[in-house]
Chains A and B, each alone.
Chain A
Amino acid sequence: MNTQIHTLQTLSLRKEYPGTVALNDVSVSYTGGQIHALIGKNGAGKSTLVKLIAGATRPTSGSILVDGKEVSLQSPRDALQRGIVAVHQELSLVPELSVAENILLGRLPKKTGLGGSIIDWKRVDTRAEEILVGLGVHLDVHARASTLGVAQQQSIEIAKAMSYEPSILILDEPTSALAQHETERLFELLRTLKGRGVVLLYITHRLQELREIADTVTALRDGSLVGTISIAEATSSTIVHMMFGEVVQSVRPSDLVYPTEPFVEVRSFSRHGVFEDINFTVNKGEILGIAGLLGSGRTELLRALFGADPVDSGELIIDGRGIRPSSPGQMKDLGVVMTPENRKDQGLVQLLNTRINACLASLNRISTRGFVTRGREQVYVDRNIRDLNIAVANTEAPVAFLSGGNQQKVVIGKWLNTQPRLVLLDEPTRGIDVQAKQQMFQIIWDMSKRGISCIVVSSELEELLDICHRILIMRQGKIISSVRPDEISLENLFAVCMKEEV
């Protein structure tokens, strides 16, 4: 195996797009055998830097040096040949192919003879097996990718990356879809790679991970390099300062009262094999968290409450009536709405502009006898922008142009326009920067003060402890406990979620 210590350097790397400088003369220098974290809020230039290094786009000026030699990268293919491999946030596996096929996709070993066009399945399996064993991952190479969990799929992505024998490996937010114990496994994998002299570039939004995994921390802000420091020097406040300059952290408001008037009662909600006999009550204006690992049934429960997925039995008691949720339309009319986990594909119609997206769920309110005008919609979207502090230059431009945090705010605005009574939020802060996260907390608290109940599902347990009145803990499809944030520590909460899983 390759144990050469590789290096990566950029010299005054610059990327300009019409009207903006995405990356402003950034010079960094990284050595192999270490994990280099790259941080910065959305739009800071992280992804531009990664794209340049991975050959996905070309710099306006400046150069990239691998192992001390300047490289000119015309395409991702070029980069791959130089041993530069990027694992992106979105997984890119082919679901119907096997683990081995996915790892060696496009480079399946061929038999000699017959023009080298017959796949040598034996070598496919042994080669894939080799790579997985080298990474300490135990997976059946014949399993179909679609049958595996997200964490295992992530391991395949990394195995695939490793099959190129990279000298430089870039990981773009690899933990955003992972539960805590899965993250641990990923970190072990990364530590293995460190030992091989690979330059590891690690992009993350989760600051608490840095101390655990990174050796150096590089911050970008507004396209410029703020600096690189070793992890020993990096205190939380230094890191936050590097990313944001000066920011005000919004803390839990003191006037958040504990609501006691019951609003919705969930009675023996069950869906075979997913969740079972779920019972709880949400009070008016209460922020109720649901903690649990990926696969605990938390997202499925939320979707079922919204009528997005069917349930086998159980009902919701709203306004004294028993309801079996059957469609999102029905639940919306009752004032129960949901912001989905995957806002890009499920929360918004990316092709359409911000105005139409923001008004999509409340057309019956905005229209008179089915007639809608742009002016009338504008009133609603303007109010959303003002109330939720959405940064949008042009409400007539496709919503796809907005950052993750702003898109999430549009999703929430869309629902606020329907005057909801219970908002179900599935991973409301996933993939958005710390500042936007703080604003999201504020939005949830504001809703609570206005008497809107919220149920929040989040993988980030500390977040639930920060924002919720009460937290339900789900494990293997059942609610096993209900706690108040001031009664439990993060460690204990985590331990309760994990039990029996390991």
Chain B
Amino acid sequence: MNISSRLRLFFSSSILEVILVLLCIMLAFSASGFLTADNLLNVLRNVSMQGVIAFGMTMVIISGEIDLSVGSAVAFAGCLTAFLTQKLSGEWALLPLSLAIAVSILITLTIGFLVGTFTGFMRNRYQVPSFITTLALMTGLSGAAELITNGFPLTPFPAWYNFIGGGYVLGIPFPALLFLLTFAILQFLMNYTSFGRTVYAVGGNAEAARLSGINVSRVKTMVFGITAFLAALSGIMVSSEIMSGTATTAKGWELDVIAAVIIGGTSFMGGVGRIWGTMIGVVFLGVMMNGMTLLNVSEYWQHVVRGTIILVAVLLNLLQKDKGGR
């Protein structure tokens, strides 16, 4: 293979990465303050809370399913943590505050995981499409968050709690570290484990996977569980950032998350997609938003641009596949 065809292969298979780099170069020249360590870390911090969910959502979509409940799950998880903390340390006076927080976080993450397995259960046991179950959960969890908070933000957290969503380790935002850690774990899971292989197989052709002796139900349940767990983690991060459990946070996040996954090249038909692609999709949207804010583009325009990007990215992916396919 000569250099030019090698280059062509690189560009056609990594088109999104190339565009992202070009975008960064453009912004570096046009938007003052873009190419500073502070700003770039800020971008990373801003994307991290939606980003952790996006990696899980990638698995869900690869497995041929969808999860619309993640936005509400974020709000619910934040409220639940705050609620439990308040009850455990205050009203019921069972535990000292720091221990109460730790226990609340554990319970919240567990319940998050269980909510996901519930979606899986409905899918496997009763063949309820995940679109429907998670649509119901989206409304239900949002309502549950309002219920336990009575519609007002709960603020039982001490100042140090802000570390999870707003702290720094060696100059790097702590939520960004959680984001990178989640990326590393799921990247490994999807590429170097039997489980990862079966997720692709189940999404590519569930019947063929079943007839290969794969436990399709278990795979789907795990994938939903992991995603809902990550949504709960995200909810804890958000509650720490805003120092309260607020039922109205994270409205519409499910769509932002799905957008990042799609931009990253994951096919809505299932069976195709990469965690790395989602990483690029998440960062791409983050950089775009940051750049436009620095350039004082109005928020309304930002939405229009975002919508356009989703379409163009999907189109690019499809065209690329057409060329690669024959």
Contacts and interface: CB of A to CB of B under 8 A. Distances in A.
Interface of A: 17-18, 306, 308, 327-329, 331-333, 337-338, 340, 345-352, 356, 359-361, 363-364, 366-367, 370-373, 414, 418
Contact of B194 (A17, A329, A349, A364): A364
Interface stretch (B195-203, B258-266, B285-293, B299-307): B195-203
B192 A332 contact: no
Q: Which 7 A-B pairs have the closest CB atoms?
A: A332-B213, A349-B204, A363-B194, A351-B204, A351-B271, A329-B213, A361-B212
A367 B194 contact: yes
Contacts of A308: 210-211
Interface string B6-48: 0000000000000000000000000000000000000000000
Interface string B270-309: 0110000000000000000000000000000000000000
Contact of B205 (A328, A351, A361, A373): A351
Given A363-B194, A372-B194, A328 B201 contact: no
A345 B212 contact: no
Nearest to B215: A329
A345 B208 contact: yes
Contact of A363 (B198, B207, B272, B326): B198
B257 to A, nearest CB: 23
Contacts of A338: 211
Interface in B188-246: 192-198, 200-201, 204-205, 207-215
B192 A372 contact: yes
Given A17-B326, A332-B213, A370 B272 contact: no
User: Is chain B's interface secondary structure helix, strand, loop, or mixed overall?
Assistant: helix
A379 to B, nearest CB: 16
Interface of B: 192-198, 200-201, 204-205, 207-215, 271-272, 326
B273 to A, nearest CB: 11
Given A308-B211, A347-B211, A363 B192 contact: no
B211 A371 contact: no
28 contacts: A17-B326, A306-B211, A327-B215, A328-B211, A328-B212, A329-B215, A331-B213, A345-B207, A346-B207, A349-B201, A349-B205, A349-B209, A350-B205, A351-B200, A351-B204, A352-B204, A352-B271, A356-B201, A360-B212, A361-B214, A367-B193, A370-B193, A371-B192, A371-B193, A371-B194, A372-B192, A372-B194, A418-B213
A336 to B, nearest CB: 10
Q: Is the interface of A mostly helix, strand, loop or mixed?
A: mixed
Given A350-B205, A351-B205, A363-B194, 20 more contacts: A17-B326, A18-B326, A306-B211, A308-B211, A332-B213, A338-B211, A345-B208, A349-B201, A349-B205, A349-B209, A356-B201, A359-B197, A360-B197, A360-B212, A360-B214, A363-B198, A364-B194, A371-B194, A372-B192, A372-B196
Q: Which among A332, A349, A367 has the highest number of chain B CB atoms within 10 Å?
A: A349
Contacts of B209: 349, 360
A363 B212 CA distance: 10
Nearest to B271: A351
B205 to A, nearest CB: 4
Contacts of A18: 326
Contacts of B212: 328, 332, 360-361, 414
Contacts of B271: 349, 351-352
B325 to A, nearest CB: 8
A345 B201 contact: no
A327 B216 CA distance: 11
Contacts of B194: 363-364, 366-367, 370-372
A327 B271 CA distance: 23
A22 to B, nearest CB: 12
Given A329-B215, A352-B271, A371-B192, A347 B197 contact: no
A338 B211 CA distance: 8
A329 B214 contact: yes
B25 to A, nearest CB: 32
Given A329-B213, A329-B215, A350 B207 contact: no
B201 A352 contact: yes
A367 B196 CA distance: 12
A483 B272 CA distance: 48
A59 B204 CA distance: 33
Given A361-B213, A373-B192, A356 B197 contact: yes
A356 B202 CA distance: 12
A422 to B, nearest CB: 14
Contacts of B326: 17-18
Nearest to B194: A363
Q: Which of A306, A346, A360, A372 has the most CB of B within 10 A?
A: A360
B141 to A, nearest CB: 31
Contacts of A333: 213
A348 B200 contact: no
A372 B205 CA distance: 21
A346 B211 contact: yes
Nearest to B206: A349
A18 B324 CA distance: 12
A466 to B, nearest CB: 27
A18 B213 CA distance: 39
A414 B208 CA distance: 12
Contacts of B207: 345-346
Nearest to B269: A351
Contacts of B215: 327, 329
B124 to A, nearest CB: 12
B209 to A, nearest CB: 7
Given A17-B326, A329-B213, A372-B197, A349 B208 contact: yes
